[in-house]
Amino acid sequence: MTAIAVLWLALVIDRCVGEPSARWHPVVWMGRWLGATGRWIAPPADSSPMPRREPFVGGAAAWCAGAALVVAAAWGVEELTRRLPVWLGVPFMALLLKPMLAFRMLRDEVQAVEQALSTSIDAGRERLAWLVSRDVRALDEHQVRESAIESLAENLNDSLVAPVFWFVVLGLPGAALYRFANTADAMWGYRGERAGRCWEWAGKWAAHADDVLSWLPARLTALLLVACAPRDAGRIGFATLREEARATPSPNGGWPMGAMARVLGIRLAKPGVYVLHPGGREAAARDTAGALALATRAARALALGAACVSGGLAWLGAS
């Protein structure tokens, strides 16, 4: 019951307050550590011949060391919090869990892209660049909107479902480990050059670690989106979701994105890479609103489901 209270209070804090300042944000601390360490493990892009073994071993060792530090810190803080009275421990733990969740920020950023698009295509592209890593300069209005909706679907898993999943399974250390892995993948998990360094092998461990930790939550995210779909969306089976997911190079990202495309009845695509629900219509402004509403319903269903699972695990542990 304490875990349920912590989770729900963390979600309320996220909704009402949003992100803490960068100075006090644990994920920002993780990013700074990863940035500093990455300069040591990734070779310059002009290296000849390009090494493989050393960057891979260095990247794996650095990832494991960082993950161990994060898990140890989260475990230590969690143990100290357990010794506090419930009335003090629950809000304190919720404040610690909140930075691992970023649903409000995700919603705000996607909405900001749509608002910018209503001003001009250039404003929409500029705002989208805050949200995605792809080149946005040649995207038209529909492609900008598609990219924002795709990011909403994929990051619904990364920013909410997966950290909540690992919190239910492993407590605060689980949520912190996932957030570290996801941040490492975002900073190191590139297949080629970035910022003058080659990440092909240096970031391979980080990319696969994130794939493993996101595997089940990504599929859960897709099922949540389908379960929260309006009645007129029609029946969307697991086989359909799997078929859509296979169209993307990511082992996980295609699941929530494909589910979002199917539920909304729209086409989502990354030019030259994949097309999801090719028979769907082009995304319109109302589809951004529909995607945000759907993601919000999925978040509420997640909170309810997590509470049921936590309560069931507590009951099993007590019996």
Within 10 A of 156 (CB to CB), how many other CB atoms are there? 31
Looking at the DSSP bridge assignments, the partners of residue 106 are none
Instruction: List pLDDT tens digits, range 209-241.
Output: 999 999 999 999 999 999 999 987 778 999 999
| Residues 195, 199, 202, 204, CA torsion sign | positive
CA dist 27 and 100 (Å) reads 7
Mean pLDDT on 65-93: 95
Instruction: List pLDDT tens digits, range 255-295.
Output: 999 999 999 999 999 988 999 999 999 999 999 999 999 99
How high is the pLDDT of residue 244?
A: 96
What band does 50 get if pLDDT is binned at 50, 70 and 90?
A: confident
Residue bearing tokens 């993948």: 185
How high is the pLDDT of residue 84?
A: 93
Compute the CA torsion angle 105, 111, 115, 121 (nearest 10 deg).
90
**pLDDT reading at 313 higher than 90:** no
How high is the pLDDT of residue 2?
A: 85
The three-state secondary structure class of 193 is strand
CB 102 within 8 A of CB 183: no
How high is the pLDDT of residue 135?
A: 87
Instruction: List pLDDT tens digits, range 4-30.
Output: 899 999 999 999 999 999 999 999 999
How high is the pLDDT of residue 100?
A: 98
126 or 316: which leads in pLDDT: 126
**pLDDT reading at 184 higher than 90:** yes
C-alpha dist (Å) from residue 187 to 35, 42, 137, 197, 206: 7, 11, 22, 12, 9
The per-residue b/e assignment along 47-67, b for 16 or more CB within 10 angstroms, e otherwise, is eeeeeeeebbebbbebbeebb
CA dist 200 and 50 (Å) reads 10
CA dist 226 and 233 (Å) reads 9
C-alpha dist (Å) from residue 227 to 134, 279, 287, 302: 30, 22, 18, 11
Average of per-residue pLDDT values in the chain: 94
How high is the pLDDT of residue 316?
A: 72
How high is the pLDDT of residue 247?
A: 96
What band does 1 get if pLDDT is binned at 50, 70 and 90?
A: low
Can you give the residue ranges of every domain in the chain? Answer: 2-318
Residues 6+ apart with CB under 8 A from 208: none
Mean pLDDT on 111-137: 94
Q: Which long-range contacts (CB under 8 A, 24 or more apart) does 194-199 make?
A: 196/44, 196/45, 197/38, 197/39, 197/42, 197/43, 197/44, 197/45, 198/42, 198/43, 198/44, 198/45, 198/47, 198/50, 198/55, 199/42
Q: With pLDDT > 90 as the criterion, what percentage of the chain qualifies?
A: 85
What band does 310 get if pLDDT is binned at 50, 70 and 90?
A: confident
Structure pTM? 0.94
How high is the pLDDT of residue 234?
A: 78
